[in-house]
Amino acid sequence: MKVFPDFKTKFLPDVDKSEIGNTYGRMFGRYGGSYVFTMTTSSKHEQEVERLVSTVSPNAKKIYHLAGTQKFELPKHEVSIAEVFRAVEKAKSNFSVFA
């Protein structure tokens, strides 16, 4: 006698059961190895933000840029959150950071 129902069968009857594990693997592979860092400044400080990010994380990749807002992907293995916060605080003392 089964005490607990099979979760995949009882509660997800219309879902392809093989997709449950595959989706987790794809999400971890895509999002698991890096942080996304976003900073918004005036357009004249964009290069300073790029320099700041490259000093914190030499292998950072710029993934978005529009009108002073920049997003970077920072590999988790080469940066700590504390380092990022220190760098942002330093940047705020040098120029205006909006977000």
Q: What is the CATH number of the domain that holds 47?
A: 3.30.70
What domain count does the chain have? 1
Q: Which domain holds residue 88?
A: 33-99
Q: What pLDDT sits at residue 55?
A: 92
Question: How far is residue 42's CA from residue 69's CA, in Å, rounded to a whole number?
Answer: 8
Q: Is residue 68 part of a domain?
A: yes
Q: How far apart are CA 57 and CA 71, in angstroms?
A: 13
pLDDT in tens for each of the 99 residues of the chain?
455 544 444 555 555 555 555 565 566 556 678 888 888 989 889 999 999 999 999 999 999 888 889 999 999 888 888 988 998 898 898 888 887
Q: Is residue 6 part of a domain?
A: no
**pLDDT at res. 99:** 79
Q: Is residue 12 part of a domain?
A: no
pTM score > 0.75 for this model?
no
Within-domain flag for 18: no
Q: What per-residue confidence (pLDDT) applies to 59?
A: 93
In-domain check, residue 44:
yes
Burial class of residue 97, CB neighbours in 10 A (0-12, 13-18, 19+): middle
Residue 73 lies in a domain: yes
pLDDT value for 35: 87
CA atoms within 13 A on the CB side of 69: 6
Q: Give the Cα separation of 21 and 53 in Å (integer).
A: 34
Residue at 14 is within a domain = no
86 inside domain: yes
